[in-house]
Structure 1
């Protein structure tokens, strides 16, 4: 593991698969650990005896923790590499650390494998006093287009309230994550489209309000939220009063137009999940056609027909950069739901449904999303 830290955040980086294995934020002397780490991982924050992970399952599952970058996103039918691609399964070499303008630290890594011929660099930046992890992935060279996305996972033990920047619609993919009752269960209707998370159809009948989690028990589900057009700051907020934190993910929706939610709540009976992988929320920010993989994402599909990109074009003689940031602040007493997030040059402002606001230090020019 490689440690990257400032006085506002600490990251343990796992070069095997590029996972942010442990993420801590420090705000006013309070240490927050909102990110998930699978129970089969050895070491700190496990809930019991680790379970064996089949070697054929790949590094992504073996190393499952925090956040990691995927290219292609999900099914890898490029003919080269495992599920979620080499960025989530290959080895990353540290090529240097430096102090960026404004202070802090930037650690730069290079993936040993190429992605469609491109070199892929990962930059993780921590700023003094910022409870934020800033990440940039740079594809240098390469040909064609690739689906890509981040895969942050948040613990929602004790419940959480979800909110997002404006969405045009939501949908589930064509098939459920788990369709064999001998292995597991999915609770939602597949496929379906819905206006918002307040009324998502259940396979058993009726609807469920997925703004409040953990959601249906003993189930494994997946859905997509498509960004509404016309704004530059995409955000995802998870208010977890029992956990004592608000998680906030920030991105440019013109690059990553979809928020993909993985609701993992004990719906997989097989190892290493073994019915124990519960109260886990993947708040995945991506440019992809659901989880159908590389070929489905680069081809015309139902999302591209509605004007959404589902793959990012590489630049043979240049680079393509993807920026993503996430952080956390303590959950203020009495807050029920984040209803607005705005950014300026030095901070993001979170506003509760009751009208109260809190600020989180943030480098506004990182996403070009300042007011």
Structure 2
């Protein structure tokens, strides 16, 4: 394990699989650790090596290229989540980790930068892919453990959807409870398979289920954000992204809905907030006219940077839900439904922010 650290953030990074296994955010005398760690990882269980490496090491955050879609040649979530990341000898600066993937991504070269800034409760990540061929789905697979529940908020979306079929269709193996496929305008009014309507903007909203929904950014949006306010657990998790490259937010709701090993009904109160560019979870009727990225296009000589940052702070007194996240000169501003604001230091240059404009 590699340790990347500043005065307010400690990142534990596993080069085998490229997993950010743990992040500790330090606020005064308190430490916040919002990221998930699977029970078998937490208890150091030795799983069958036939299980993909990333599932055996399931924790925190990792980069998927391709997202899901295992094959005979590529494991679940790609070599970026199952391969070996070699540290760069150039990574001499405190608070910085530079890595290169030993395996290729459809013929392309992948590098990873994890960067921290003193005083910033933020983990900045940049993945760069050079060369390769074809189009692949990609995602940051960030997972929270939220036993006390969270209220969810996002940048404005064009619509939300569930995929063509449920994640779990065999009652002897697991259970999904949402209706598949469907489209919806808001998470607070999403249909279940029994015809009823539930508010999925507050999670968990039911027990023993495994469900996935996708939120799609509005066409042309270049700045996207997600927020999860965990009032009982005392933190606000937030993430920001380049929405032109990552125009989808995949919500993986894993709350004891898988009965088979290693899940065995014990993988509970887990929420993946996975910023992505995908097509396979989207309704077929929407992909043709989406006009947003449905994957990452690779080509010889082409270089693409995928920028994504996340952080966590303590919940200010009285806050129940985040209403907006915006950037100003050197700060990230989080607002609540009552109009109260919390300002934290942020490197706006990370997303090529134009300080004279309201967009990227």
Which bracket does the TM-score occupy, shorter chain normalised?
A: over 0.9
- The question of whether the paired residues in 1 share the 8 Å contact of 2:19 and 2:60 is answered with yes
Mark the CA change 1:84 to 1:304 in structure 2 (over 3 Å): closer, same or farther.
farther
Determine helix, strand or coil for the equivalent of 1:182.
coil
Aligned to 2:8: 8
Residue 323, structure 1, aligned to residue 313, structure 2:
no
Secondary structure of the structure 2 residue equivalent to 1:55: coil
Shift of 1:229: 2.6
After superposition, what is the alpha-carbon deviation per residue over 1:57-89, rounded to whole angstroms, capped at 9, x for unaligned?
A: 201100111100000111134x52111111011
Partner of 1:87: 80
Whole-Å separation in 2 of the counterparts to 1:240 and 1:288: 28
**Alignment partner for residue 76 of structure 1, among 64, 70, 81?**
70
The match for 2:327 is 343
- The whole-number CA distance in structure 1 between the counterparts of 2:44 and 2:86 is 27
Change (3 A) 1:107 1:304: farther
Structure-to-structure mapping, 1:26-65, within 5 angstroms: 26-41=26-41, 46=42, 49-65=43-59
How large is the Cα RMSD of the aligned pairs?
1.8
Compute the displacement of 1:335 (Å). 0.4
Q: Secondary structure at the match of 1:61?
A: helix
Gaps of 5+ in 1: none
SS in 1 for 2:40: coil
1:208 corresponds to which of 198, 223, 229: 198
Equivalent pair of 2:244/2:292 in contact (CA under 8 Å):
no
Q: 1:93-131 CA deviation, whole Å, 9 max, x = no partner? A: 11135466xxx5321111111011111101100111111
SS in 1 for 2:39: coil
**Quick one: which of 273, 289, 292 aligns to 1:308?**
292
Q: Which deviations, in whole Å up to 9, do the C-alpha atoms of 1:14-35 show, x marking residues without a partner?
A: 1111110111111334211010
TM-score by length of 2: 0.94
Deviation at 1:364, TM superposition (A): 0.7
| 2:105 corresponds to 1:112 | no
Change (3 A) 1:352 1:90: same
Moved over 6 A (4+): none
Q: Corresponding residue for 1:24?
A: 24
Matching residue within 340, 344, 351 for 1:367? 351
Q: Number of matched residues? A: 355
**Alpha-carbon displacement from aligned partner over 1:344-364 (angstroms, at most 9, x marks no partner):** 231110000011110121101
Cα distance between partner residues in 1 of 2:175 and 2:136: 30
Q: Which residue of 2 aligns with 1:129?
A: 119
